[in-house]
Every structure is written in structure tokens, then in C-alpha cells.
Structure 1
Amino acid sequence: MIKALYTSITGMNAMQNALSITSNNIANSQTVGYKKQKAVFDDLLYNNTMGARGDENYAGTNPKSIGNGVKLSGTTTDYSTGPITLTNGKTQAAIDGNGFFVVGDSKGGNVQYTRKGTFSVSDDHYIVNSEGQYVLSYPTKPGKQDIDFSNAPQPIKIPMGSAIPGTRTDHASLTGNIARNIGETAEEFTVYDEEGNNFTMRVELKQVTDAQGKPVDGEYKYKVLVRNDAKKEKTFTELANNKDLKFNNLGELIQTDAAIVRDPVTNKITQGGKVTIPFGAGVEVDFSGATNYPTDDTFKPTEVTGRPATTVKDFEISDGGYIMVRYGDGSSRVGGQLAVAAFPNEEGLMKIGNGNYVSTPSAGTPALGVSGQNGTGAVRGKSQEGSNVDLAVEFVDLMVYQKGFTGNTKVIKVADDVLNEVVNLIR
């Protein structure tokens, strides 16, 4: 009976720990990025007697094993994705699938991992989490929007209020259909000089007429004018005039300043179609996408390069974990991309609170990358991942563990009653 008492105590301890794990799950049912845990039990060592081997007259006997109870051997963590909600919070992100955001100190050290993507901005414009740790990211290459993976991820600073120079316009495309016999048409678009000052460029088309004043199919003359909007000028200055723009009877472009050459197989333009307008260091105007079909007029400017001098006004984390920097002129550029880590064995991570994990030897070496790399899920911008706790399951587990605890207490009471009876035998 003494053995029964101690065996039941192990059961009570195991059930008590399981109740603690379940209560922690219930308590974190609304915690952002929380991953639920489950208790794992193992039986304790047994008192065994060896079985006897049989002979030609008698069968053998089996071993006898008497258990010593149960123990909580560990916990498992369910890393399945919780419900993802679109919040429109510019500093919030969630991972739809495997992986963890990476946080650390100001030098990118003391690395920890988290699923809690409720980030904010520090007073010196770094992206941080709610504990003040820096969110590690990959920067862009200098002067480009390509992500630089040559170094380990580091804290990223949003250049709020910083000014950037303007870039001049060096290319503009005029594409779409010029309706036949339209007579005259004009398109205007904004261009920029080397200083970032804005100008309005105007391209005027006029159909060629013969000696009798009759329109010639497919033949146009164009001229290009410019107006300095930065100086609030009212009139246009002519840059080019009486230039040819010709189409064949199929509506295909055959000549600008020079004849058009097309690939005989694909019919794509391989030479010609682009003209240089003497504005600043020269603006290449591409007419290659223009047509002259007998249908509606859709001729318009596209792919105009250049931008004015401006300052950084805001930022947001977009899908893919891209950090998009927004400028005062309404444009945006990639400023970096959030780092995402994947582990060979997620179960080997150790929870340390505040939604953070640290790596252990059993977790394996983390593979660092970005959204969608190394088997990680997609990063969703302006989103938040909820807890993956299912309250219905947790309450059922709560009842099961409570019954287990109660059952072990009853065994102790029965063992106590039996011991009392044994003691009373000598009275």
C-alpha cells in the first residue's frame, strides 16, 4: 500500500503540471503569435522479475513488471499558423507558414526569434518590437532597390525627413493607338531636369495633308515643346518640329526619324522607333508602342523616368516583408526587407517569454533569408497573427487532467483506508 501512495503522488504531480500547461494556453488565447503547448507523459521505471524459461515438461513464465507511476517527460509546441487578421497597421506583419522574425541588439547580436510581428518605430526611427529589441532586416544595395544579402541582417533605420535629390528624365514612352484621321492630337507629361525641377513636355501630332488638303493615311508630323513649371512659366518653348511619324496600311509604325526595322519572325521592332529630344542631357522618346488602327484613340505617355527632389514622409511594411519608404511626392521605394529564419527542428527552440524564442543545439543551425526562402512562409504586411489556441480543445484537456488528478487522490484515500485496516488487525 505504501507503493500505491507514492505511485499516486507521481500521478498527481504529472496532472498538476499538465493543468499548468493547459491553463497557460487558455491564458494566452488572445496573445499575438502565441503557439500552444501540449503535455507529454512517460511511465517511470518498473520493478521487474525475469520470466522463467520453459522446458520439455512445462511452459515458461512471463516477466512480471510493477510500475512506479508517471512523469511529465516534456512538452510539445504546435507551430501551426494562427488566424491572420488584416489590421492596416503600417508596422505590423505576420508570417503565413513556417519561420520566425529575427530580433537583436543594435549591432545585430544577441539574436532571438519571434512570431509576434507587432512592431513599432523608436524615437531614432529604427524598427523595434514591444521589448525595444531591433528588428533585423536586409538593406538595399546603394542607390538601388535590390536587396543586399551580402551581409548578415542588421537593424534598419527609416530615413524619416531626409531629403533626396531629384533625377532627370532620360526616357519616356508614348504608346497606344492613334485614331485614323484624327487630324490633331497632343499629350502632356511631367519631366525633370538634373536638379529635379519639374517641366511639362508636350508632344503635338498633326496629320499630313496633300496639295488638295486631303489627309494622307498613316502620315503625321510631330513637334515637342516644354514649359518650365518650376518657374511658373505660361508659355511653351519648342524643342523639335516637323518630325515624321509614319504607319503602313496595317497600322504598324514604319518610320520616325529613321526607318523602322522589324524581326521577320516575331515582327518586333529591332531598330528605330526612338528619338532623342534636346532637353537637358537629352530625353529618349520611344514611339515603338504606337499604332494607327481604325479604332479609338488610346495614345498616351507611359514609363516616364525622373523625379523631383523630395523628402521621406512615411513608411510601411508590405507583403513579402518589404519596408517601403514613402516620399513627399507620393512615390515609394524599397528600403529593405525583414529577415526570416527557419530551423531544422522548431521543437528545439526555447521559449523565454514576451513571444520570443532562443535557439538551442537541438534546434539546429537557423537558415536566414526572407519571405518564402528556406521553406519559410509568406510575410503578410499590415497584418497580425493571432494565437493558435483552440479553447474547446483546451477545456476538454482541462477536464481530463482534473479527472486524472481526482482519480489519483481517490487511490491515495483507498490506500490509506487499507493501511488503517492492516494497522487495526493488531488491536
Structure 2
Amino acid sequence: MGFSQALSGLNAASSQLDVVGNNIANSQTVGFKGSSVQFADVYAAKTGLGTRVSAVLQDFSNGALESSGRNLDLAIAGGGFFRMTQNDQVVYSRNGQLTMTPDGYLENAQGARLTGYPAGVGAGGQPQALQVPAAALEAKATTGVNASLNLDANSSSNPADQTQHASGNFSYNYANSSTVYDSLGNRHNVTMYFAKLEPDATANPPIGDNDWQVRTSIDGTLTGGDGQPQPLTFDSNGQLTGSDTLTYTFTHANGATNPQGVAFDFGGTTQYGNDFELSSLNQDGYTSGSMVGITIDDAGNVIGSYSNEESKVLGTIALANFRNPEGLKPVGDNAWVETTASGQALVGLAGSGMLGSIESGTVETSNVDLTKELVDLIIAQRNFQANSQTIKTQDEVMQGIVNL
């Protein structure tokens, strides 16, 4: 019986040496999770029959995050796994060292492709392999311009003191230009002319001391032939009253969509006794652009950057977690598959629930403590040697009995 007990100890110690050796071998493997051996005794009647390996448990504690400076290196700060597809199988990994294939898929060195949600779908859809489109960003016609400025309350309303427009049809106090884009992405220069009106109580409606008029031209041509004059009215405190949005209609001769209506929002515009000042001006259109690169934010959004200085969310990375991560089955290549012991994958977006955030330009190192593993290696070696000594002792006892 002593031989079988010692043999069980040798087998158990050998398994421990295998696990510790594997941990040490993968101490520099990105996303690797170390394992430990659990033993149980084998008992029968009055004397134990030895030991056995009851389980090899995986340690899913987080490894240290290290900066790599490469934007396609990803790490999860917190719980969760990257959800990937490999050979028509869904696998889970903590290794986010990715490259982009010629057809735009994000995959690791083993060919496992990162999955996520297409742009605009969110977590309500079925995760699929993320693919970065190579197509250029289509042009977007301008639909709105936001302008915030101050019109000098001391400006003269006398046309003789104002600047005469080249057309000779009107005069103005101030002019300011902005850019709009048509449906083909062509850029157009729009000039806004601000004129303070002379008070006229007999007009319909009456013109007060704080009434202004705005006209526009596009590429030097007055909108609608006369600039489409529209009013801006201020109260005695210099604040806009009534509507602060004026809509102008532009026409193009280049095949773009006609007419193009653009709403000019003058919210925040004032009439104080200061010089004319433009504090902000922006619009929502842009020309087409070619992709120049991608970035990934901490929410897992894959963002494309384009040559027209615009950006667009192309998709969102899906993460997964499990009730019992220790129940996952390792399949090699830093990957695991779900089992009945792990439970079903809980899939969602980074930063939600039990899922951590995504760190770009960062990798998660192995969680193996090399110092501890070397100590465990010595202990396992001594355990193996002790069981070998047990066999040697049993052999000597048996030899003595035979000699009798």
C-alpha cells in the first residue's frame, strides 16, 4: 500500500510541477492567467490511500497594465473579456494585441476577430466581427450655422453713416463671413450683413430703436436677389426678443441639391454699447474625406478619423463576463470558451455593470507572480523528492523482508 500512496504523491507533485512550470513559462505572455493545483486525500478504511489532484483553478485576477504606445493594443481596466470569433467559434480573451487585416477586421496574432456592435446599434443587437470600412466619409450639406456676436448699440441707423453694398440696394454697419457646404461637399462663402434700422413708428410692423436687419450673400451673390432681409430685435437690456433663428435659402449651379435651406441660429447674440464682436461661429456641414486612422476610446467606440478633420463612430466593442470565470475552459492562444460551469456569457458595453473600461495603447501583463512561482517550484520539487524517498524506504523494507 505504501508504494501506491507514494506513487499518488509523485503523480500529484508532477502535476503541480507542470502547472508551476506553465505559469513560469507564460510569465511574459500578455493577458495570461496563472493556475494553481488543489489536492484531496484518498481515504479508505483506517489508512489513507494517498492523494489526488482535485482541481486546477485559474486565477482571473487582473494583471498590471503597461503602456505600449500602439493604438491597436487594448487592455481591460476591470472585469470582463474581449469577445472574439475564431474558426466559427466564440472565444474570450484578455489579450487585446490587435492588428487590422487588409479587409478591415480587427484580429489578434492567432486570427481571432474582435466582435462588437455596428455603429448606431448599441447593445441591442447581436455582436458581430467588427470591420472598419475603407470607404470615404460622405459629404454632409450644411443645415445650420450657430453665430453668437455683439452688435454695438451705439451704431448709427442712418444709411449715410453706413457702408453701401456693392449692389447699391442697401447699406450695413457690419459684415461677417462663414462657410457652408452643399450636398456635394463643395465649400461656399456666405457673408452676413448687419444693418441697424432707422426707427419708424408708422411702419408695419413699427421699427424701434433696437431693431436690426440681416441679409446674406453666397459666393458674392445676394441670396434671393436682395439678400432676403430678416429682422433681429433686441429689448432695452440688449437681449434678443422673438425668434433668434433666421432661415436663408441658397441655390447652386453645380448639380448640388437645390434649394439648400440653412438655419442661422443667433442665440446668445447681444446689443451692448461695445464694439462689434464675434464670440463664436460654427456650422454642421463638411466635405468628403478619406480615412487617415482609427482610435478606440474607453467606452470601446472605434472612431474613424478622416482627412476632412471629421470623425465618425464605426462600431463599439462588445465585452463579456461570467458568473463563474473559473469555470471557463482554456483552449490555448490566450483564449477560453464558456462551459456549463462558467454560465452563459453576459455581454455588454465597456464601463457597464461588471465590465471594465477599455484602455487603448495599453496591454495587460500576465498576472503570474514570478517570485511566488519560483518558491512554489521549490516546494513542488521537495514534495516530489519526499515521495520518491517514500518509495525508496518501502523498497528497503521489502528487501529486508526478502532477505529474512
Structure 2 length as normaliser, TM-score? 0.82
Q: What is aligned with 2:128?
A: 154
Q: 2: CA distance between counterparts of 1:181 and 1:359?
A: 75
Work out whether 1:172 is the aligned partner of 2:145: yes
Q: Is the 8 A contact 1:317 1:382 kept in 2?
A: no
Q: Following TM superposition, by how much is the alpha carbon of 1:286 offset from its aligned partner in structure 2, in angstroms? A: 0.6
1:252 is matched with which residue: 207, 220, 239?
A: 239
Q: What is aligned with 1:301?
A: 281
Q: Following TM superposition, by how much is the alpha carbon of 1:37 offset from its aligned partner in structure 2, in angstroms? A: 0.9
The alignment partner of 2:385 has SS state of helix
Identity of aligned residues (%): 30
Superimposed CA distance per residue, residues 169-218 of structure 1 (whole angstroms, 9 cap, x where no aligned partner): 1111113655765896554332111221111223344566889xxxx986
For 1:154-303, list aligned pairs within 5 A: 154-160=128-134, 162-175=135-148, 186-205=175-194, 220-227=212-219, 236-239=220-223, 240=227, 243-254=230-241, 260=242, 272-279=243-250, 280-292=259-271, 297=277, 299-302=279-282
Q: Following TM superposition, by how much is the alpha carbon of 1:47 offset from its aligned partner in structure 2, in angstroms? A: 2.7
Q: 2: CA distance between counterparts of 1:32 and 1:397?
A: 22
Work out whether 1:71 is the aligned partner of 2:57: no
The alignment partner of 2:299 has SS state of helix
Mark the runs of 5 or more structure 2 residues left unpaired by the alignment.
157-172, 201-207, 251-258
Q: 2: CA distance between counterparts of 1:177 and 1:10?
A: 89
Work out whether 1:86 is the aligned partner of 2:67: yes
185 and 398 in structure 1: CA distance in 2 versus 1, 3 angstrom threshold: farther
71 and 242 in structure 1: CA distance in 2 versus 1, 3 angstrom threshold: same
The alignment partner of 2:114 has SS state of strand
Structure 1 length as normaliser, TM-score? 0.78
Q: Is the 8 A contact 1:367 1:374 kept in 2?
A: no
The alignment partner of 2:177 has SS state of strand
Q: Is the 8 A contact 1:95 1:377 kept in 2?
A: yes
CA RMSD in angstroms, aligned pairs only: 2.8
Q: 2: CA distance between counterparts of 1:208 and 1:390?
A: 79
Q: Residue type of the partner of 1:47? A: A
Q: Residue type of the partner of 2:37? A: A
The alignment partner of 2:358 has SS state of strand
Q: What is aligned with 2:44?
A: 47
Q: Is the 8 A contact 2:230 2:246 kept in 1?
A: no
Q: Residue type of the partner of 2:221? A: T
1:16 is matched with which residue: 9, 14, 17?
A: 14
Q: 2: CA distance between counterparts of 1:294 and 1:20?
A: 84
Work out whether 1:37 is the aligned partner of 2:24: no
Q: What is aligned with 1:53?
A: none
295 and 365 in structure 1: CA distance in 2 versus 1, 3 angstrom threshold: farther
Q: 2: CA distance between counterparts of 1:5 and 1:157?
A: 60
The alignment partner of 1:362 has SS state of coil
188 and 82 in structure 1: CA distance in 2 versus 1, 3 angstrom threshold: farther
